[in-house]
Amino acid sequence: MKAVLLVLTHPASPEAEAAYNEWYTTQHIPDVLAVPGYTQATRWRCYDSWSPFEQKYLATYELEVTDAQHLRAVSDEHMRRIGAGEMRRSPGGTMDRNAMRAMYYLAVEPEQHSSVNPKQQANSIFVTFNQPRTPEMADEYNRWYRDVHLPDVLACPGFISAQRFSLSGVNMLDQPWVTDLTYVNIYQHAATNIDDYNAAFSVVRERIMKGDIVMTDTLTPEAPTGVYGRISEPQFAGG
């Protein structure tokens, strides 16, 4: 089954940002992709007006695992290699290690693709965290997301694909994660900058206001949402 590791970080200072990015893209991601289980990785930077957390950088790692126990084994091997010095650590003073957070999620269902936009490489991702307001609403919440909301959003300009994931119980760093909400929804988008993304998202808002995008009262209110622009090419295991 598919899993994702979301890693939130930022550099220790503006002066360290260039060295931090160079290390992360050219050294750290290849080192992580050498761990069996990881399949690909991409780096993103949050658009300033869509920043839900203090960390402005996001790395998304995709994995292929059999279950949560397998996922735990991958995470343990990842951390073992860091502890053993088998992964190249960031140069001193370039990354704020105290701010780093990392959490694994398991796919809830297969990825859905837009029927109106050609499939292409994502230049932005729209990341929303949520869960049903009550346990009794879970079935309707999941039905609405799967059968109604994702198709509605994917019919809007620029959206390429979307997939839903749930917390796996595997926290790579054993540090408090940025949210306790159960689900994360990752939408891929074609926009290459914040202005293009905002223009596209204005269509989503308009369709919600008109009722063309059907909402639900099962959603937890005021959940964090972020939009990130791609800053690296996707890298693949064995590449």
Q: What's the CATH number where 181 sits?
A: 3.30.70.100
What is the C-alpha end-to-end distance of the chain, expressed in Å?
21
Q: How many domains does the chain have?
A: 1
Give phi and psi for 48, each to the nearest 5.
-55, -40
Find the domain containing 105 and state its range: 2-236
All residue ranges of the chain with pLDDT < 70 are 118-119
Residue found under tokens 């306790």: 180
pTM value is: 0.97
- Determine the pLDDT at residue 118: 65
What dihedral angle (degrees, nearest 10) is formed by the CA atoms of 87, 89, 90, 95?
110
Give per-residue pLDDT as tens, 28-79. 999 999 999 999 999 999 998 899 999 999 999 999 999 999 999 999 999 9
Nearest to 166, CA basis, from 223, 103, 219, 105: 105
- In angstroms, rounded to a whole number, what is the distance separating the alpha carbons of residues 52 and 233? 24
- Determine the pLDDT at residue 93: 87
- Determine the pLDDT at residue 77: 98
